[in-house]
Amino acid sequence: MAGVRHLYVHLPFCAHRCGYCDFVTLVGKHGRHERYVEAVLAELELERPLLAERVETVFLGGGTPTFTQADALVRLLTALPDAAETTVEANPETVTPEVAALLRDVGVTRVSLGAQSFQPQLLDVLERRAGPDDIRRAMHTLRDVGFDNVSLDLLYGIPGQSPSDLERDLAEALSLAPEHLSCYELEAKAGTRFTHAWGAKLERQAEAMEGYFERVVETLADAGYRWYETANFCVSPERAGGRDLRARHNLGYWQARDYVGLGIGAVSTVAGARWRNAPSLGGYLEALERSAQPPREVEALDDETRARERLMLGLRLDEPLELDPSLERALDQSELDRLCSRGLIDVAGSRGRNRFIRLTARGRPLGGGVTAAVLA
Partner 1 sequence: MDQSHIRNFSIIAHIDHGKSTLADRVLQLTDAVAERDMRDQLLDSMELERERGITIKAQAVRVHWKGHELNLIDTPGHVDFTYEVSRSLQACEGALLVVDAAQGIEAQTLANAYLAIENNLEIVPVVNKIDLPQADPDSSAAEVAELLGGHPGDVLRISAKTGQGVEDVLDAIVERIPTPSGDPDAAPRALIFDSSYDQYRGVIAFVRVVDGSFETREALRTMATGTEFEAEELGYMSPARVPMKALTAGEVGYLVTGLKDVSTLRVGDTVTSRRRQATKPLPGYKDVKPMVFAGLFPTDSDEYPALRDALERLKLNDAALFYEPETSQALGFGFRCGFLGLLHMEIVRERLEREFDLDLIVTAPNVAYRVQRRDGETVEVHNPAEMPREVEKVEEPYVKAAVIVPKDYVGDVMGLCTEHRGRFDHMEYLSEGRVMLSYELPLGEIVLDFYDQLKSRTRGYASFDYDVIGFREGDLTRVDVLVAGEPVDALSLVIHRDFAYDRGRLLVERLREEIPRQMFDIPIQAAIGARVIARETVKARRKDVLAKCYGGDITRKRKLLEKQKKGKKRMKQVGGVEVPQEAFLAVLNLDSEKKR
Which residues make up the interface to partner 1 (CB under 8 A)? 8, 182, 184-187, 210-211, 213-214, 230-231, 250, 253-254, 259, 261, 265-267, 269, 274, 276, 299, 305, 308-309, 312-313, 316, 338-339, 342, 344, 363-373, 375
Among residues 277, 266, 257, the alpha carbon closest in space to that of 3 is found at: 257
Beta carbons of 294 and 287 less than 8 angstroms apart? yes
Q: Other C-beta atoms within 10 Å of 136: how many?
A: 16
CA–CA gap between residue 310 and residue 370 (Å, rounded): 15
CB 89 → partner 1: shortest distance, Å?
A: 11
Q: Which is nearer to partner 1, 99 or 323 (CB)?
A: 323
CB 223 → partner 1: shortest distance, Å?
A: 21
Q: Other C-beta atoms within 10 Å of 148: how many?
A: 12
CB 70 → partner 1: shortest distance, Å?
A: 26
Beta carbons of 141 and 95 less than 8 angstroms apart? yes
Q: Which is nearer to partner 1, 102 or 122 (CB)?
A: 122
Beta carbons of 291 and 42 less than 8 angstroms apart? yes
Q: Which is nearer to partner 1, 74 or 347 (CB)?
A: 347
Q: Which is nearer to partner 1, 184 or 356 (CB)?
A: 184
Give the Cα-Cα-Cα angle 146, 141, 101 (nearest 5 degrees): 60
CB 172 → partner 1: shortest distance, Å?
A: 21
Phi-psi region of 369 (alpha: psi -120 to 50; beta: other; left: phi over 0): alpha
Measured in whole angstroms, the distance separating CA 218 from the mean position of its chain's CA atoms is 21
Q: Which is nearer to partner 1, 99 or 359 (CB)?
A: 359
CB 157 → partner 1: shortest distance, Å?
A: 9
- For residue 11, the surrounding DSSP H or E stretch is strand 6-11
By three-state DSSP, how is residue 122 classified?
A: helix
CA–CA gap between residue 332 and residue 356 (Å, rounded): 15
Q: Which is nearer to partner 1, 9 or 99 (CB)?
A: 9
Q: Which is nearer to partner 1, 211 or 272 (CB)?
A: 211
CA–CA gap between residue 15 and residue 129 (Å, rounded): 9
User: Which residues, in sequence order, are CB contacts of 369 under 8 Å at separation 6+?
Assistant: none
CB 326 → partner 1: shortest distance, Å?
A: 16
CB 143 → partner 1: shortest distance, Å?
A: 26
